[in-house]
Structure 1
Amino acid sequence: MRTALTLAAMAAAGGIIAGPAATAWADDSAQSTISQLQSQGYTVNIDRLGTGPMSKCVVTSVRNPQTQTQWVPYTGPGRGTDRTILVPQVTSQTISVSLDCSAH
């Protein structure tokens, strides 16, 4: 029981600590940065400066990753109905991306 609770706590902490690695995005286009975040499961909120086309936008920051979790009962193999262990499950992830789309 203690091991299962420790593993659940480590999984929860790992989900919070393991955020997106923003260093690789400096060389990517704005659209590829947004697509990469979406492929990682994020809903991307965009702050945009200027009215230029997306192909001319530059990512100025990626910030504020938010992860919502919900505790759900573990129902894996070998578990009897006499004891319930709760484990965290990610229900949603959001992140903000700021773009500079002003004419250069």
Structure 2
Amino acid sequence: MRTALLLAGVGVVLAHAGPAAADQQSPWEVIEQLELAGYYVNIDRIGNAPIGECTVTDIRNPQQQTELAYADDPGHHDRRGHDDGGRVVDVVVRQSISVSLDCTG
């Protein structure tokens, strides 16, 4: 379930016009969209041109780090039907993704 939601989120970022979208967007736009979606963006590149002159060649490896947290939920009931006042849920504390750039000019 978490993987499906994560990939759906990445798909929203990448779905503007399919694979051609990355060619039409500057690397800064792609990175900004991913950061706005909550990702810490790891960049790897070949070449030494400024990032604005690079081409995005790949977006991959979405990762999520989660921790268990207690959620106050007064309407939540335990197995016996008693209102237990809350539950334990997974909370995303960090998510990262990698962007590859071709900066050979």
Amino acid across the alignment from 1:15: L
Pairs aligned (count):
93
Deviations 1:25-53 (A, max 9, x none): 34211110001000011000000110101
> What is the Cα deviation at residue 18 of structure 1?
2.4
Identity of aligned residues (%): 42
TM norm structure 2: 0.74
Contact 1:74–1:84 (CA under 8 A) maintained in structure 2: yes
Pairwise CA distance, 1:75: 0.4
- 1:61 is matched with which residue: 58, 70, 94? 58
Instruction: Work out the CA distance in 2 between the residues paired with 1:13 and 1:75.
Output: 25
Higher strand proportion: 2
Which one of the candidate residues 22, 27, 32 is aligned to 1:30?
27
* TM-score, length-scaled by structure 1: 0.75
Match of 1:15 in 2: 5
**Structure-2 residue corresponding to 1:89:** 91
Distance 2:3 2:103 in 1: 36
Give the Å deviation of 1:16: 3.7
Let me know the Cα RMSD of the aligned residues: 2.2
Conserved? CA contact 2:27–2:52, under 8 Å: yes
Structure 2 counterpart of 1:101, which letter?
A: C
| Alpha-carbon separation, structure 2, partners of 1:13 and 1:83 | 28
| Structure 1 unaligned regions, length at least 5 | 1-9
SS at match of 1:49: strand
Taking the aligned partners of 2:74 and 2:86, their CA distance within structure 1 comes to 13
**CA 51–13 in structure 1, closer or farther in 2 if over 3 Å, else same:** closer
